[in-house]
A = this chain, B = another copy of it.
Amino acid sequence: MSRNRLPQEEANGGTDAGQGSPARPTILDLAALCGVSPATVSNALAGKPNVKAQTRDLVLRKAREIGYHASSTARGLRMGRSWSIGLVVGDIANPFVPDVVRGVEDVVWRERKNLILCNTDFQAEKKTAYVRSLLDKQIDGMIVLSQILDDQDMERVEAAGIPLVTVNRRAPGHSCDYVGIDNQAGVRMAMDYLVSLGHRRIGFIKGLFRSSSADDRLAAYQEAVAAHGLDSDPSLVVQGDYSMESGDSATRNLMAAQRPTARPTAIVAANDLMALGALGALHDLGIKVPSDVSVVGFDNIQLAEHPLLNLTTINHPKRETGDSAARLLLQRIAGDRGDPPRSVILKPSLIVRGTSAPPSAAAVAKPRRRSASQPEKNQAEKKQAAGT
């Protein structure tokens, strides 16, 4: 109806005698108010050089005055961006995750981008639906934490030209930026440390198969067993699923052996949650930690340092993980999409606390074979500060 509206007529004026909110000002209102064209307002607000200082100041002043804020949606449509990045996690309630999220948020916030949190519950269809939704929203970039996307989703992301950073899981066959930790080094640290204490029979609670990090950690355990010539009974490796409960039951399995000498004197868990489960099980079984059995975790989640848990563990720099992922992503968004993919591999570190000690005299009384091979691999470890 209001075709051909006069230049001075306020775009929002007049007609809203009705109810509800007074319809926030558009750039047209602001332009009319300043007596310039919308284009000039846009340029002024964007700080473009082709607008007279006097005009710019006027625009800025009036803008502040009426509280003008450009519609993200409109500029998003025009510019093909959304100033938000998608963060796909499996389970935000897992204590490992929020710390990483915190790291991501911190750097994303600096560029005033928003974080869209997608909790997939590790369900394939939820993952797919979320990825679709993110693409529909024209997100600037995407971070996928501790899981991999289907090939089809992956292709969609690539086809859309959306930068993607994967964290903790490599996407096989796809090249994108990656942030992870040196899993092998971490487990090796734990193993070398336990060996230096005198342990020869070390159990391992592995994580879910089909995940690169779980594989890496298990492989590192096996390599360490071989390198140090430790007992390599297959019953020393038990399956967990990264949950506390699984750590509990895995430990009961480990300790169920009839002959006491068949039981491990130390347990390494592929993550802290399972290690805490192990502590719980051992407590229930009346097995003393660390005097009877040592326990070492992986991740160093927040509560691991509680005096009553006091878990010896491998530190996973969680916040730094999120930080690096976000940085990589932002660089990729700003810079050339064609650059070769980059990886950031963070360094684990050993944090010695109260759940580890030399094995009891009884346990080491009966030395098995003496592997004569590794004289140089003694103890490069020392007690490290808990601060990472």
Contact = CB atoms under 8 A, between A and B. Distances in A.
A129 B112 contact: yes
Interface in A263-280: 276, 279-280
Contact of A102 (B21, B92, B105, B116): B92
Contacts of A16: none
A115 interface: yes
A306 B309 contact: yes
- Copies of this chain present in the complex amount to 2
Contacts of A82: 73
A116 B161 CA distance: 22
Interface in A186-235: none
A385 to B, nearest CB: 17
Contact of A93 (B69, B70, B102, B117): B102
A112 B97 contact: no
Given A22-B159, A73-B137, A95 B92 contact: no
A309 B309 contact: yes
Contact of A92 (B105, B283, B302): B105
A71 B138 contact: yes
A70 B159 CA distance: 16
A98 interface: yes
A287 interface: no
Interface residues of A, number: 57
A303 to B, nearest CB: 5
A284 interface: yes
Interface in A81-101: 82, 84, 87, 91-93, 95, 97-99, 101
A116 B84 contact: yes
Contacts of A136: 69-72
B119 A116 contact: no
A309 B244 CA distance: 14
B93 A137 contact: no
Given A102-B93, A160-B21, A132 B69 contact: yes
A331 interface: no
A24 interface: yes
A276 B95 CA distance: 16
Contacts of A73: 73, 76-77, 82, 137-138
Nearest to A307: B280
Nearest to A161: B21
Contacts of A302: 93, 95
Q: Closest 8 A-B residue pairs measured CB to CB?
A: A280-B307, A21-B161, A117-B117, A72-B136, A72-B137, A73-B77, A73-B76, A105-B119
10 contacts: A24-B159, A70-B136, A72-B133, A72-B137, A73-B73, A73-B137, A76-B76, A92-B102, A93-B101, A114-B134
Interface of A: 20-22, 24, 69-74, 76-77, 82, 84, 87, 91-93, 95, 97-99, 101-102, 105, 109, 112, 114-119, 126, 129, 132-138, 159-161, 244, 276, 279-280, 283-284, 302-303, 306-309
